[in-house]
Amino acid sequence: MTVVPEMKVVVVGAGYAGMLAANRVARKVRAAEVTVVNPRPDFVERVRLHQRIAGTAAAVEPIASMLRDGVALEVGTVDRIGDGVVTLDDGTGLTFDWAFLAVGSTVRPMPGTVPVGSWEGAEQARTALAALPAGSAVTVVGGGPTGIETAAELAEARPDLRVRIVGSAVAGDFTERAHRKVRDGLARLGVEAVDGHVVRTTESAVHLRSGVALASDLTLWAIVSGVPGLATRSGLTVDGDGRMAVDASLRSVDDERLFAIGDCAAVPGARFACALAGPQAVRAVDNLRRLLAGRTPAPYTPRYVARAVTLGRRGAVAQFTRRDDSLRRSHLAGRGGVMLKELASRGGKFGARTGIGG
Ligand SMILES: Cc1cc2nc3c(=O)[nH]c(=O)nc-3n(C[C@H](O)[C@H](O)[C@H](O)COP(=O)(O)OP(=O)(O)OC[C@H]3O[C@@H](n4cnc5c(N)ncnc54)[C@H](O)[C@@H]3O)c2cc1C
């Protein structure tokens, strides 16, 4: 436990990275007064939003029930951060000695589609699905993990619908053997997989670059891209995607009181992943402790283990990777894959709740 004179720490964003950071500071830095700011009073388990849509998980829990005693929650949206002040969009200002930017990533849905990767989008999709009669066609756009998991979860939960997934290369980020397992798993659930580039969507159809038009009663956008504009708005240095520029220790290159963690941090070699958000939060908080103790902060390097997708509640494929995210030959399917993926999802929430991770 690091002991310092009274010190204010503000964490912006209560996702996987922000929650872990807030609880870890509260555990490890005595006398730190920690405040978390988030637009909603609930922690959204973003890796389960496809389950929320399909009705197989709630994917939310009150933030207050997950925060350690003494950590304050401020429900609001941060408009700017800088000069030792976090300013909310209602004009409220919170001063800080140290702050963690953890605002995650966003979705940029094509007009005519409903996004899967945000809470609001998931709720809209859930409502729209509930109103769809049997036999309706649902198209999921995005051939990556989010699209695969969404299409499979829906097909299993609503076998009365015709579910299709469209992406430039559906399950393209796997070895050939794992790719086949994913495609077979989708086919077993009745999901039609279409490799194609979507150029336009309307209320009733999805148009591909090849000229093909696919009839669709509901089109879901399962691609996560971009980050909230907070760092840009605040005049901080950002990369081409708007992620806040950090040094090797995850500290802002502009303001030494500021760390960025999770999807919104411009970490070389990092992709949007819950699997990285936790370790980044751990490293950033431990670096804060090092700084408070007069020691040199330690560098952070992303370390990957696997990319895993669920195929409904009873199937999964976990493709093992090297530390640098390049593919290994091995993968795990069936029950082993399901267990590994479930463990990873629970681990993210456990880290958020406890401040423990690595
Ligand atoms: C369906 C789905 C499945 C996924 N599956 C996996 C998986 O299997 N493995 C994996 O590694 N990753 C997965 N991901 C990606 C993973 O969810 C993200 O990488 C992860 O949530 C990033 O954590 P974070 O803490 O950086 O951001 P988030 O979890 O997005 O949290 C950010 C928080 O900041 C808040 N916020 C935003 N703007 C502001 C503001 N201005 N002021 C205050 N608060 C703000 C948001 O409301 C949110 O609460 C999946 C994503 C989706 C959508």
pLDDT tens-digit series, residues 61-72: 999 999 999 999
**Residue list, ligand 1 pocket, CB within 6 Å:** 12-18, 37-39, 44, 46-47, 49-50, 77-78, 102-105, 116-117, 145-146, 149, 224, 228, 230, 262-263, 272-275, 277
**CA-272 nearest atom, ligand 1:** 19
Summarize pLDDT for 166-175 with one digit per residue, the tens: 999 999 999 9
Give domain 114-224+305-345's CATH architecture: 3-Layer(bba) Sandwich (3.50)
Do 2-106+226-302 and 114-224+305-345 come out as alike in CATH topology?
Answer: yes
Residue 1 pLDDT exceeds 90:
no
Question: H/E element holding 5?
Answer: strand 2-12
- Return the ligand 1 atom nearest residue 104 CA: 27
Q: Work out the percent of the chain whose per-residue pLDDT is above 70.
A: 98
pLDDT of residue 5: 59
What are the residue ranges spanned by the domains of the chain? Answer: 2-106+226-302, 114-224+305-345
**pTM for the model:** 0.96
The reported pLDDT for the residue numbered 341 is: 95
Q: Nearest-5° angle of CA 162, CA 167, CA 171?
A: 95
CA angle 226/245/344 to nearest 5° reads 60
The CA 87 to ligand 1 mean position distance, Å, reads 22
Contact 46, 134 (CB under 8 A): no
Q: Residue 30: pLDDT band by 50, 70, 90 thresholds?
A: confident
Q: What is the pLDDT of residue 203?
A: 87
**Residue 29 CA to ligand 1 centre (angstroms):** 25
Domain spanning 2-106+226-302: CATH superfamily: FAD/NAD(P)-binding domain (3.50.50.60)
**How many Cα atoms occupy the beta-carbon half-sphere of 122 within 13 Å?**
27
pLDDT of the residue at 6: 82
Based on C-alpha coordinates, what's the Rg of the chain? 21
* DSSP-assigned letters across all residues of 88-130: ETTS-EEE-SEEEE-------PPTT-EESSSHHHHHHHHHHHH
Average pLDDT over residues 27-50: 96
Asked whether the predicted pLDDT for residue 150 surpasses 70, the reply is yes
Contacts of 170 (CB under 8 A, 6+ apart): 143, 147, 148, 182, 183, 186, 193, 194, 195
Q: Does pLDDT of 4 surpass 90?
A: no
- List, for residues 189-217, the tens digit of each pLDDT value: 999 999 999 999 998 999 999 999 999 99
Residue 103, pLDDT > 80, answer yes
Residue nearest to atom 14 of ligand 1 (CA): 47
Q: Is 334 in a helix, a strand, or coil? A: helix
Residue 358: pLDDT above 80? no
